[in-house]
Amino acid sequence: MTDISQESVTLEELTSRISALIAPEQSLRNVWVVAETSDLRRAGHCYLELIQKHPRTGEPVARMRATIWRTALARIDADFMSSTGSRLDSGMKVRVLVTVNFHPAYGLSLNITDIDPTYTMGDLLRLRMEILSRLKQEGVIDLNRSLEWPDVPLRIAVISARGAAGYGDFIHQLYTNPRHLRFSTRLFPALMQGAQASASIISALEDIAMEEDEWDGVVIIRGGGATSDLAAFENYDLASNIAQFPLPVIIGIGHERDVTVLDYVANMRVKTPTAAAEWLIGRGEAALELLDSLASEIHHTASSIVGGMREQLAYIGASLPYAPIAAVESARRRLDRSLLSLTETARGRLRPENSRLDMACERLRTSTSAIIERRLSRLSSIDELVAVLSPDATLRRGYSITRVDGHAVTSAASVPLGSTIETTLSAGTLISTVIAET
């Protein structure tokens, strides 16, 4: 049983004892320590955590607060940048010179006084570069970043932890937008930290892919937290899934200073879940502003057209009483001009035609006379030939024609004995009876 009669000390006295024990201990002063940086932030001085992770699970097994005072920060930053090409940041495995301090009010911490620049990037950053290099070699690193968002993305699939503050901030910002844009969202819950987070997010992505046509894009969000909790997002399988996902993906899983491999493969990176909502709202507002601008231009153009039409209508109304008379006079003048033009045109066209007609008549008259003369000469020749060749001329030369039953006889054998024959002479006709054939 505890002796409650033992003398008590104040917390200040206890912390003073601890400080007195630590301060003179030389083994805790100017010690080179290998660790990984986490939650690094600058505010004049540099505040961070040094952590050591389990080699298999990646879970932190040791963690201490550390400080780099302003007097040493500029030198350390310059040396580190010069040697590594990078600024000291979270997620780097470093070798630092530390002294253990214990403050009665702020507790145990490490004061970093130097850094070994040759011990550069930690396992986390090296892993990230290996993942990015592999995705680049596979030709998929830019696939999601090249996808185009709809002009107004309103159907958003959200991957986040159920009940997470970041998800609540995102939804509140999205549904209370000042332009009253009507977004449609659905939460696909997933673990957002721990060893199972990557597999959980991949499963949510697969569920969304099965409903690809129902969504305009995907938002993966997570609220604030320690940088060391982001280790689950430095995962090749998850990065590969996002890089090849058929819908554009927004990553908002940390603060502005927090960067993971997903930020290099997703379509867009924003610093917070609220910023993701603001970006989506901004797309809608830009579309509405464009519509407002177009509507204003249409209204202005229509007003100008209507105004012009009104002026024309007023002019027409004023000139309408005189318009028929003016139209008739104008038509009459056009008709007179057309008639005069038609007369001149007709004369011009008939004159050469008349000349050609006269010439044709003269040629016809000459040709007809020549043809008639040739035809008369030919007829005279034919008439003379007919006269020479006619039966009468033959009969006048002493010939006769013998017929039996009206048919001319050319052979005595064709006339039977006793037949009556008719003989035509130049002057007269003889009727005979055949009594013998010689």
| Domain identity same for 132 and 117 | no
Position 326 in a domain: no
Is the pLDDT at 358 greater than 90? The verdict is no
Distance CA 365, CA 376 (A): 16
Residue 211 — pLDDT band, cuts 50, 70, 90? very high
Q: Check residue 242 and give its pLDDT.
A: 95
Distance CA 80, CA 68 (A): 13
The percent of the chain in helix, strand and coil, each rounded to the nearest 5, is 50, 20, 30
Q: Check residue 249 and give its pLDDT.
A: 97
**CB of 409 within 8 A of CB of 421?**
yes
Distance CA 338, CA 351 (A): 20
| Domain identity same for 265 and 210 | yes
Is the pLDDT at 225 greater than 70? The verdict is no
Distance CA 285, CA 178 (A): 9
Q: Check residue 5 and give its pLDDT.
A: 63
Mean local confidence (pLDDT), 168-190: 92
List pLDDT tens digits, range 118-155.
775 555 677 788 899 999 999 999 999 999 999 889 99
**CB of 378 within 8 A of CB of 403?**
no
| Domain identity same for 19 and 106 | yes
List pLDDT tens digits, range 424-438.
887 888 888 878 776
Residues 6+ apart with CB under 8 A from 329: none
For the chain, percent of residues with pLDDT exceeding 90: 32
Alpha helices, DSSP H, located in 85-196: 123-137, 165-175
**CB of 166 within 8 A of CB of 195?**
no
The DSSP letter of residue 193 is S
**CB of 264 within 8 A of CB of 145?**
no
| Domain identity same for 177 and 274 | yes
Mean local confidence (pLDDT), 385-410: 77
Is the pLDDT at 422 greater than 80? The verdict is yes
Among 121, 151, 184, residue at a domain's last position: 121
Sheet with 429-433: strands ordered across: 407-408, 401-404, 420-424, 429-433
Kindly report the CATH number assigned to the domain that includes residue 199: 3.40.50.2300
Q: Check residue 224 and give its pLDDT.
A: 62
Q: Which amino acid is at 69?
A: W
Structural domain of residue 62, as residue ranges? 11-121
| Domain identity same for 158 and 273 | yes
- Sign of the CA dihedral running 298, 304, 308, 313: positive
Mean local confidence (pLDDT), 406-422: 80
Alpha-carbon 397 to chain mean position: 115
Is the pLDDT at 179 greater than 80? The verdict is yes
| Domain identity same for 20 and 144 | no
| Domain identity same for 384 and 415 | no
Most confident of 13-27, 174-188, 321-335: 174-188
Distance CA 184, CA 215 (A): 9
Kindly report the CATH number assigned to the domain that includes residue 60: 2.40.50.140
Q: Tell me if residue 85 falls in helix, strand or coil.
A: coil
Q: Torsion-angle region of residue 419: left (phi > 0), alpha (psi -120 to 50) or beta?
A: beta
Q: Check residue 210 and give its pLDDT.
A: 96
Give the least confident one: 180-184, 197-201, 281-285, 399-403. Answer: 399-403
Residue 255 — pLDDT band, cuts 50, 70, 90? low
Distance CA 66, CA 108 (A): 9
Mean local confidence (pLDDT), 65-87: 85
For helices 165-175 and 273-319, angle between their N-to-C axes, nearest 10 degrees: 10
- Mean pLDDT, the chain, rounded, equals 84
Residue 423 — pLDDT band, cuts 50, 70, 90? confident
| Domain identity same for 151 and 251 | yes
List pLDDT tens digits, range 45-69.
999 999 998 878 878 899 999 999 9
| Domain identity same for 21 and 104 | yes
Triad 186, 189, 195: Cα angle to 5° = 155
Task: Tell me whether residue 66 is exposed, middle or buried, using C-beta atoms within 10 angstroms of its C-beta: 0 to 12, 13 to 18, 19 or more.
Answer: buried
Q: Which amino acid is at 86?
A: S
Mean local confidence (pLDDT), 14-40: 82
Q: Check residue 45 and give its pLDDT.
A: 94
| Domain identity same for 117 and 132 | no
Task: Tell me whether residue 434 is exposed, middle or buried, using C-beta atoms within 10 angstroms of its C-beta: 0 to 12, 13 to 18, 19 or more.
Answer: middle
Residue 72 — pLDDT band, cuts 50, 70, 90? very high
Q: Check residue 84 and give its pLDDT.
A: 63
Position 168 in a domain: yes
Distance CA 249, CA 283 (A): 15
Residue 85 — pLDDT band, cuts 50, 70, 90? low
List pLDDT tens digits, range 308-339.
888 888 777 777 777 777 777 888 888 888 88
Mean local confidence (pLDDT), 24-38: 85
Distance CA 250, CA 216 (A): 11
Mean local confidence (pLDDT), 294-311: 84
Mean local confidence (pLDDT), 175-183: 90
Position 309 in a domain: no
Is the pLDDT at 97 greater than 90? The verdict is yes
Is the pLDDT at 3 greater than 70? The verdict is no
**CB of 219 within 8 A of CB of 254?**
no
Is the pLDDT at 28 greater than 60? The verdict is yes
Is the pLDDT at 187 greater than 80? The verdict is yes
Is the pLDDT at 170 greater than 90? The verdict is yes
Task: Tell me whether residue 299 is exposed, middle or buried, using C-beta atoms within 10 angstroms of its C-beta: 0 to 12, 13 to 18, 19 or more.
Answer: exposed
Q: Check residue 254 and give its pLDDT.
A: 66
| Domain identity same for 193 and 240 | yes
Which of 70, 66, 32, 29 is CA-nearest to residue 50? 66
Position 333 in a domain: no
Dihedral Cα 178, 184, 187, 192, nearest 10 deg: -50
Which of 102, 76, 90 is CA-nearest to residue 15? 102
Number of domains observed in the structure of the chain: 4
**CB of 193 within 8 A of CB of 232?**
yes
Q: Check residue 122 and give its pLDDT.
A: 57
